[in-house]
Amino acid sequence: MRLHKKLVLIVFMLLSISLSACSKDKGTNPSDSTDNNNELPGYTLVWSDEFDGSSIDQTKWEHEVNGNGGGNNELQYYTARNENSYVKDGNLHIAALREEYTAEDGTRYYTSARLRSANKGDWKYGRIDVKAIIPAGQGLWPAIWMLPTDWEYGGWPTSGEIDIMEHVNEEIYIHGSVHTESYNHKIGTQKTGKIAVQDASVNFHVYSVTWNEDKIDFMVDDQVYYTFLNDKQGNYKTWPFDKRFHLILNVAVGGSWPGNPTPDTVFPSEMIIDYVKVYEKTN
């Protein structure tokens, strides 16, 4: 009888350990076929950064430094300081801070960082995966997005914009959008989709687009939640997405969409990026 009880106890403990491990893995590592290797069926990896070094790779990224925010009535001063962007433990951190900061463009009361791959990573068509934890709080506006490198059709929004991931405040929704001359938020015609991601500020998720000459699919953890179709009219006003684009990573503070932070908004607030991977379709 005593031996039977001991066996039951041992089995129960083993099951508990197993279930606990499974629960932890599920919470911090959503399904992603590219986590453990660089293979993706039908695609070839052409550019990546897994942030395994001790500093930001200057051959892949440059800081956009300015004190004018990013437009849209934003409040931050974008800097190249280590306080606002750094690599640690295999992750890129982009940190928004509440502080008085004065430099060439004047004084701001929030700082952050905006990194871009322009002329270091530029692509026409493919799949872009970014695995990240994003900050949440009133007045915060993290984004993973793309702009044209050469602006061949003209200034914004004529040459286009692809927003892989945007999130504002403490809402549960992730937004994916495009901007063109015909479709943009300035005239109320923006094309956009959204998906609820309850734990985006505490767990990693993979934010992606697949982009080809016919359409752009927006995904979270491989789930397509919005598709923007090429109308096939040969019109750059609706489809300027036949030119090369580069990637931008930033955390904005304030602005027309999220509104301003409040005293309850927690700073520092960080977007933590595990990797960026860019694939081209295999012929």
Strand partners, 70: none
DSSP letter, residue 254: B
Q: Are 163 and 145 in contact (CB under 8 A)?
A: yes
Residue position matching structure tokens 């949440």: 136
d(CA 283, CA 280): 9
DSSP letter, residue 224: E
CB neighbours (10 Å) of residue 124? 14
Strand partners, 248: 116, 145
Position 33 scores a pLDDT of 44
Protein fold of 37-281: Jelly Rolls (2.60.120)
d(CA 67, CA 186): 22
Position 180 scores a pLDDT of 98
pLDDT in tens, 198-216: 999 999 999 999 999 999 9
- 175 CB-near residues (< 8 Å, 6+ apart): 163, 165, 166, 167, 192, 193, 194
3-state percent helix, strand, coil for the chain, nearest multiple of 5: 10, 45, 45
Q: Are 137 and 261 in contact (CB under 8 A)?
A: yes
Position 58 scores a pLDDT of 97
Dihedral sign, Cα of residue 230, residue 232, residue 235, residue 236: positive
Catalytic residues: 161, 166
d(CA 78, CA 174): 23
d(CA 215, CA 125): 10
Position 6 scores a pLDDT of 42
Pair type for strands 173-179 and 161-166: antiparallel
Sequence length of the chain is 283
Position 260 scores a pLDDT of 97
Q: What are phi and psi of 26, to 5 degrees?
A: -65, -35
**Ranges of the chain with pLDDT below 70:** 1-37
d(CA 49, CA 63): 16
Closest CA to 195 of 170, 166, 229: 166
Q: Are 178 and 275 in contact (CB under 8 A)?
A: no
Position 1 scores a pLDDT of 40
| DSSP 3-state of 178 | strand
Closest CA to 66 of 55, 56, 80: 80
DSSP letter, residue 182: S
